[in-house]
Structure 1
Amino acid sequence: MRLNENTMLLGKRVVLVPYTSEHVPRYHEWMQSEELQRLTASEPLTLEQEYGMQRSWREDTDKCTFIVLDAEKWRAGPSPSEESCMTGDVNLFLTDLEDPTLGEIEVMIAEPSCRGRGLGTEAALLMMSYGVTKLGLTTFEAKIGQGNEPSIRMFQKLHFEQVAVSSVFQEVTLRLTMTEPERQWLLEKTSYVEEKPYRDELAEPH
């Protein structure tokens, strides 16, 4: 999605930046992991295919993605590369043509050493706030593998409620409807977040 290609979101634990070609090699390395393939229900791609996916994420209007950087490493300086700070990604899919206010959210913390530190939770909050304020979303869904207890618990802490179970796909669907109280809660939880312009000379297509 081109809407966020110049947007950077600064949180306390994470920094969200657009997915550029600079990030592809590390991302491709992550996705060789059988565990991550299973958790994300994805097939391994070649590096060239991964560059192609990055371009489609940039161009497609129904996908919004940010790379999640570890804020502690990113702020440590002097000017660490974003690739060395990468911990995962967070995505929104706007795939329901009949309901443009519905977004499906996915969060992946790929670096094992970064799990359990609240990075996924903050990345989800920042992305939800972005979805509400910039994309006009009022409902979020998360589809998670039945065995992925940490992810299910994380979304339940973010007020999502389980609405469906698919034995075929072995996944549960959780949903959060942004009533006015939920909207106020979300905006208060993310009131500290700074939005800054993101410029990257390496962001041109591969």
Structure 2
Amino acid sequence: ARSRYRPVRARAPRVPPARRPLAGPGAMRLNEDTVLQGGRATLVPYTAAHVPRYHEWMKSEELQRLTASEPLSLEQEYEMQRSWREDADKCTFIVLDTERWSAQPQADEDCMVGDVNLFLTDVEDPTLGEIEIMIAEPSYRGKGFGKEATLMMMSYGVRNLGITKFEAKIGQENEASISMFKKLHFKEVAVNSVFREVTLRLDVSEQEKHWLLEQTSHVKEKSYRDLKLP
């Protein structure tokens, strides 16, 4: 089974590093009732209702290649979603099209465009988070959805999870993703020729934190449970 890292990046499968759980409640459980509504993108918790669409995405050979993944059965996808929901070291949101979702908030599986993840990569430093973004729908790429979703996740990590440093690992050929992270003030710090990936990093100084919160000041936080009520 794949490790299910979710960047649009290429890298050979490998054993993930040991991770230390996020402080306080499990990260996935912490955001299970959280909706972050932005201008283009809206982030909602990953639930069983999203699995069929997610499963269809991951049949794509392109996404399998870019995420170093192997196809799973639908039942395995449901098992993966359940395990993620209980995972103490991972925070996952599904990315929706805000405009479509606002018109029908009870049918977000019809508005899915990708997902964004944040998890720890350094067993000695719980303030370091690795961030990954996947815009699975080709028609939504290059339109600012990935950028806004990434900014919202970074802001959430800083405000709610105590993250002060971010890393992104991206396939060397994925120039669009590398360019996007550099526009978000990430700096290239390493190149892995074996996995053919670039590591970019951002240390969140007070100045960077102010900029990040300013960039996401329009984001509205809502209760997912309340929005799903009939």
TM-score (norm 1): 0.94
**Equivalent residue, structure 2, for 1:147:** 173
In structure 2, the gaps of 5 or more residues are 1-27
Contact 2:106 2:227 in 1 (8 A): no
Mapping of residues 56-205 of structure 1, within 5 Å = 56-75=83-102, 77-79=103-105, 81-199=107-225
**Equivalent residue, structure 1, for 2:54:** 27
Opposite residue 134 of structure 1, the aligned amino acid is N
CA shift, 1:162, in A, is 0.5
Contact 1:73 1:80 in 2 (8 A): no
**3-state secondary structure, aligned to 1:132:** helix
2:45 to 3, 18, 36: 18
1:157-196, Cα deviation, whole Å (9 max, x unpaired): 0000100000111100000000110010001111111111
1:76-125, Cα deviation, whole Å (9 max, x unpaired): x2556111100000000123221000000000000011111100000000
RMSD (Å), alpha carbons? 1.4
1:139-171, Cα deviation, whole Å (9 max, x unpaired): 000000111111101100000010000011110
| Seq. identity, % | 73
Opposite residue 165 of structure 2, the aligned amino acid is T
**3-state secondary structure, aligned to 1:147:** coil
Runs of 4+ in 1 over 2 A off after TM superposition: 77-80
**3-state secondary structure, aligned to 2:39:** coil
CA 1:78/1:71 → structure 2, altered by over 3 Å: closer, same or farther? closer
Q: State the number of aligned residues.
A: 201
**Equivalent residue, structure 2, for 1:47:** 74
CA shift, 1:48, in A, is 0.9
Contact 1:6 1:198 in 2 (8 A): yes
In structure 1, the gaps of 5 or more residues are none
**3-state secondary structure, aligned to 2:182:** helix
Opposite residue 193 of structure 2, the aligned amino acid is S
- Supply the distance in 1 between the matched residues of 2:69 and 2:208 (Cα, whole angstroms): 32
- Supply the distance in 1 between the matched residues of 2:40 and 2:105 (Cα, whole angstroms): 17
